[in-house]
Amino acid sequence: MTVLQLYELQQVDTAIDTREKSLAEVRNRLGEDPALAALGRRIQELEKRVKDEALARRPVELEIRGLEERLAVIEARLYGGSITNAKELEAQNEELTYLKEQRSAQEDRLLEFMVTSEETQKEFDVARKTVAEIEERRKRAQPDLTANEEVLHRELERLAEERVAVASELAGSELSMYEALRKSRGGQAVARVERGICEGCRLSLPSTEVQRARTSRGPVHCSSCRRILFVP
């Protein structure tokens, strides 16, 4: 009976479809992870930024060191007792105050640099940790995925052979009608009828239609979804 063969073909095709979907998912998970690649690029950016920021604050650090050296010289002079002239003493004190202000201003600038650098470093560390975790997870999942891939691949080979055998029993016109329906009906061309309900569209069928589907030699289509009805 043609409908039974069409139904068998539908079952084989459904089995192929689900395995192909699973195989695509498995291969997707085994393949390059877009999130991981994006994180890798972000890490490179952050690594560069860490270096750039260290370079940017270098002149400020040098400036502070220079000011400290100058301050040390003046302080040694002031407190060393070598200056006795009151005017000279006043000038040196003024210089001391000026240099201290300068140092304070530069230290504020350095602090800003440090805060930014810390944030960058923190983001860099978090990204690195996330990458390590994702990679570890992928590594652990790999053996199962690879085994799964092989099983699916073998099953698909077997199903392809089965499909050829089942399809060879059908006439060319039936096959093309089946294929067209499969394409327009989300992969399902043949629908079982269970308790008077078409399992393709879930609608209740008139009993005459079910009866016709059961006894007809040729395919009978569901009056609402047009799928070929199979009454077991």
* Interacting residues with Zn ion (CB under 5 A): 198, 200-201, 222, 225
Question: What is the DSSP-derived secondary structure letter of residue 218?
Answer: S
- Least Å distance, CB 175 to Zn ion, is 21
- Least Å distance, CB 12 to Zn ion, is 21
Residue nearer to Zn ion on the CB measure, 138 or 192: 192
Residue nearer to Zn ion on the CB measure, 159 or 222: 222
Is the alpha carbon torsion for 177, 179, 185, 188 positive or negative?
positive
Residue nearer to Zn ion on the CB measure, 39 or 225: 225
Share in percent of the chain as helix, strand, coil (round to 5) = 75, 5, 20
> Which residues are registered as beta bridge partners of 194?
197
- Least Å distance, CB 208 to Zn ion, is 15
Asked whether 47 and 121 are in contact (CB, 8 A), the reply is no
User: H or E element: which one contains 135?
Assistant: helix 86-167
Q: How far is CA 27 from CA 17, 32, 111, 135, in A?
A: 15, 9, 49, 16
Residue nearer to Zn ion on the CB measure, 97 or 211: 211
- Least Å distance, CB 227 to Zn ion, is 5
Asked whether 190 and 6 are in contact (CB, 8 A), the reply is yes
Asked whether 197 and 159 are in contact (CB, 8 A), the reply is no
- Least Å distance, CB 222 to Zn ion, is 3
Residue nearer to Zn ion on the CB measure, 141 or 177: 177
